[in-house]
């Protein structure tokens, strides 16, 4: 980028969201190290299910963990978004309350209800009312200090949960996978950061193809929630409409809807997130679905995960999507950081009791 380009970036990104994306590899390292040092009560291993309570950027970490470890986890992992605690919570449940600010209305409601149960409880936050209540009740709190929009602190809502599940014997040792993922993320970031010209930067190229179009993200298996993450990053960073679908469910409904209204076909770009670790049957579904998209006149693009292990495949695609959403925000000439409509919604809810 020229000096003029960098100057323009700074004007459009005064809160420096780009720096937060650059720091993703460092975030992951810090979050993992913090969680490894954190001591859990011995009785917390006596569980038969895990419930993660959160909203938005604080909940997606639980979603990613759930989809990552589904093939091996010895207990079910459920992510809950909402005010009310599920009725199944009991003394064999580990309830992880995740809120970046510690003041999320729905999350605090669920936490208050969890306090009335015998569940094992654990909080992840930067502070706020959640930390205050947890400290008062003697509940373990992993407190981290990282100034960012909640969605830009994903590593702290993701890797600690994975580490805690490892400590409790719910999943196997992930240390080697984390080491590989950190290496993959560092190399990938160099290849797609803002200093790389468009001609050599696939993330900037994809943002250009999505500019003025409606992104629809497809994922499968361990990439299902990565597709979800891409969708929300386009919403919050790029201030753009976006949707996501999951294989193979989308083959039982979404593919039938490609036909109408016909004028939408040229305005949609489907981005298919792929991994060589997906089963052959799922990979075949990708192939046939692309044939159907071609018939409908809908443009599509592939983005492949990197690294050998599932964690690297997942996190490399998360990072790639973060960069794409940032570049798309710049193309739309909007500041990627603020979420003014969410702030407005919260203010209105507070005023209306």
> Of 3.40.50.2300, 3.40.50.10490, 3.40.50.1220, 2.30.130.10, which CATH number belongs to 196-331?
3.40.50.10490
Tell me if residue 211 is catalytic.
Answer: no
pLDDT digits (tens, 9 = 90+) for 285-324: 999 999 999 999 999 999 999 999 999 999 999 999 999 9
Domain 38-173 has CATH 3.40.50.10490: yes
Which contacts (CB < 8 Å, 24+ apart) does range 248-251 have? 248/220, 248/282, 248/285, 250/218, 250/289, 251/285, 251/288, 251/289
Q: What's the length of the chain?
A: 353
Q: Where are the domains of the chain?
A: 38-173, 196-331
DSSP for 95-157 reads EEEEESSS--HHHHHHHHHHTTS--EEEEEESSHHHHHHHHHHT--EEE----S-GGGGHHHH
**Does the active-site annotation cover 346?**
yes
Q: Are 89 and 119 in contact (CB under 8 A)?
A: yes
Q: Do domains 38-173 and 196-331 have the same CATH topology?
A: yes
Q: Identify the band that residue 9 occupies on the pLDDT scale cut at 50, 70 and 90.
A: confident
Contact 144, 102 (CB under 8 A): no
- The continuous run of DSSP H or E covering 244 comes out as strand 243-247
| pLDDT score, position 331 | 96
252 noted as active-site residue? yes
How many distinct helices (H) and strands (E) make up the chain? 13, 9
> Which is the catalytic residue, given 106, 236, 245, 306?
236
Whole-model pTM: value is: 0.97
Name the active-site residue from 43, 252, 263, 287.
252
**What is the phi-psi region of residue 138: left when phi exceeds 0, alpha when psi lies from -120 to 50, beta otherwise?**
left
Predicted pLDDT of residue 178: 98
Looking only at the bridges linking them, the beta strands covering 77-80 and 93-99 are: unpaired
């Amino acid at each position: 980028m020229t000096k003029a380009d960098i100057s323009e970036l700074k004007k459009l990104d005064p809160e420096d969201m780009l720096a937060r994306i650059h720091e993703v590899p460092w975030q992951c390292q810090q979050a993992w190290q913090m969680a490894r040092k954190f001591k859990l009560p011995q009785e917390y291993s006596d569980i038969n299910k895990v419930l993660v309570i959160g909203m938005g950027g604080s909940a997606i970490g639980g979603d990613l963990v759930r989809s990552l470890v589904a093939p091996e986890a010895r207990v079910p992992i459920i992510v809950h978004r909402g005010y009310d605690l599920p009725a199944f919570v009991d003394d064999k449940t580990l309830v992880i309350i995740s809120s970046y600010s510690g003041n999320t209305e729905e999350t605090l409601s669920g936490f208050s209800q969890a306090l009335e149960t015998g569940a094992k409880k654990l909080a992840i936050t930067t502070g706020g009312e959640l930390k205050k209540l947890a400290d008062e009740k003697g509940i373990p709190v992993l407190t981290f200090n990282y100034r960012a929009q909640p969605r830009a602190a994903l590593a702290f809502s993701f890797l600690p949960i994975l580490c805690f599940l490892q400590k409790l014997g719910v999943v196997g040792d992930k240390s080697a996978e984390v080491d590989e993922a950190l290496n993959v993320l560092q190399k990938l970031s160099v290849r797609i950061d803002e200093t790389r010209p468009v001609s050599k930067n696939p993330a900037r190229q994809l943002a250009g193809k999505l500019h003025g179009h409606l992104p629809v993200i497809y994922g499968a298996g361990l990439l299902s929630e990565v597709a979800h993450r891409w969708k929300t990053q386009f919403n919050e960073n790029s201030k753009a409409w976006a949707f996501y679908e999951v294989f193979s469910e989308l083959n039982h409904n979404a593919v039938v809807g490609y036909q109408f209204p016909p004028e939408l076909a040229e305005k949609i770009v489907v981005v298919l997130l792929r991994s060589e670790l997906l089963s052959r049957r799922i990979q075949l579904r990708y192939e046939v679905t692309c044939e159907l998209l071609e018939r409908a006149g809908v443009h599509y693009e592939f983005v492949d995960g990197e690294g050998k292990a599932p964690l690297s495949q997942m996190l490399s695609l998360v990072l790639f999507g973060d960069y794409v959403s940032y570049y798309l925000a710049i193309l739309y000439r909007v500041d990627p950081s603020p979420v003014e409509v969410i702030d407005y919604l919260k203010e209105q809810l507070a005023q209306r009791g």
